[in-house]
């Protein structure tokens, strides 16, 4: 059973456009929501993360929007660049249960020049 | 600070053999988690070790085991390899156990023939 559902599976965006990736969860015990970026041949790298006490967090061109009542969160990449082409994973972790992260299935983003 | 290192980077084994993978966490990190990444299943949590104790275990058969040493280095072992064990095995380290940011290594690519 996939605890974190991620969409779309793949995304193609023009350079300069906005990339939006969505995730949804059911477990209300989740209280930490990171996004990871993975390039081919590399391990995932933390991009940005949010806790449910805020509805939005922005770091540079990357923004997480969080809707606690809908149990959804999304990643927005503004002014998308070809160098952003990678696979993006959302994740969630419940409180006080160690570091067992539950990952979404990933979104392959391609930014075309 | 050096990142998470994993050895070896690539392995080819045959069915029925066993394999040991190694992970050295970031200096000062005491939590090490292992994940299996496949195209079909995405990132699946295997187990987490914190201060030499297994803190969490994912839904994998007993053929998958691990341990952590006093210097926080960790190994995972897979016995009686099956074709379906072919995957990228990722190690992630954190300072603490409990919803802390995880930093991933580059992974070990295991191919079972």
Q: Across the interface, which of B99, B104, B106 has its CB nearest the CB of A93?
A: B99
Asked whether B113 and B102 are in contact (CB, 8 A), the reply is no
Q: Which pLDDT band, with edges at 50, 70 and 90, does A1 fall under?
A: low
- Mean pLDDT within A71-75: 97
| CATH number for position A10 | 2.60.40.10
E strand or H helix at A48, and its extent?
Answer: strand A45-50
Is B104 close to A31, i.e. CB distance below 8 A?
A: no
- Of all residues in chain B, the one with the smallest CA distance to A106 is B42
Q: At residue A63, does pLDDT exceed 70?
A: yes
For residue A94, the model assigns a pLDDT of 85
Asked whether B29 and B102 are in contact (CB, 8 A), the reply is no
pLDDT in tens, B55-105: 989 999 999 999 999 999 999 999 999 999 999 999 999 998 777 789 999
pLDDT in tens, B14-47: 999 999 999 999 999 999 999 999 988 889 999 9
Going by DSSP bridges, is the β-strand pair A102-103/A86-94 parallel, antiparallel, or unpaired?
Answer: antiparallel
Question: What are A82's two structure tokens?
Answer: 């070809």
More confident residue, A98 or B77: B77
The number of folded domains in chain A is 1
For residue B52, the model assigns a pLDDT of 94
Q: Residues A23, A29, A31, CA angle at the centre, nearest 5°?
A: 65
Which residue range is the domain that position A77 belongs to?
4-112
For residue A95, the model assigns a pLDDT of 75
More confident residue, B27 or A97: B27
For residue B1, the model assigns a pLDDT of 67
CA distance linking residue A65 with residue A67, whole number of Å: 7
- Mean pLDDT within A96-102: 81
C-alpha distance from A37 to closest chain B C-alpha (Å)? 11
Name the phi and psi angles at A34, rounded to 5: -95, 160
Is A100 close to B58, i.e. CB distance below 8 A?
A: yes
| A29 interfaces chain B, CB cutoff of 8 Å | no
Q: Could you tell me how far CA A27 lies from the centroid of its own chain?
A: 17
For residue B2, the model assigns a pLDDT of 80
């Amino acid at each position: 059973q996939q605890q974190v559902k991620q969409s779309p599976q793949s995304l193609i965006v023009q350079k300069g456009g906005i990339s939006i990736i969505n995730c949804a969860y059911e477990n209300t015990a989740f209280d930490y929501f990171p996004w990871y970026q993975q390039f081919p041949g590399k391990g995932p790298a933390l991009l940005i993360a949010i806790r449910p006490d805020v509805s939005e967090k922005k770091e540079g061109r990357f923004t997480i929007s969080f809707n606690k009542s809908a149990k959804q969160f999304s990643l927005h990449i503004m002014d998308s660049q070809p160098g952003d082409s990678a696979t993006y994973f959302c994740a969630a972790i419940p409180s006080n249960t160690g570091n067992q992260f539950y990952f979404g299935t990933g979104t392959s983003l391609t930014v075309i020049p | 600070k050096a990142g998470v290192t994993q050895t070896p980077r690539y392995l080819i084994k045959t069915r029925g053999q066993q394999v040991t993978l190694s992970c050295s966490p970031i200096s000062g990190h005491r939590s090490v988690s292992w994940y299996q990444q496949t195209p079909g299943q995405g990132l699946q949590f295997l187990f987490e070790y914190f201060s030499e104790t297994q803190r969490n275990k994912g839904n994998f058969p007993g053929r998958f085991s691990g341990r952590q040493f006093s210097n926080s280095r960790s190994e995972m072992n897979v016995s009686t390899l099956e074709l379906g064990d072919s995957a990228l095995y990722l190690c992630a380290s954190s300072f603490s156990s409990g919803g802390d940011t995880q930093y991933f290594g580059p992974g070990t690519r295991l191919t079972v023939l």
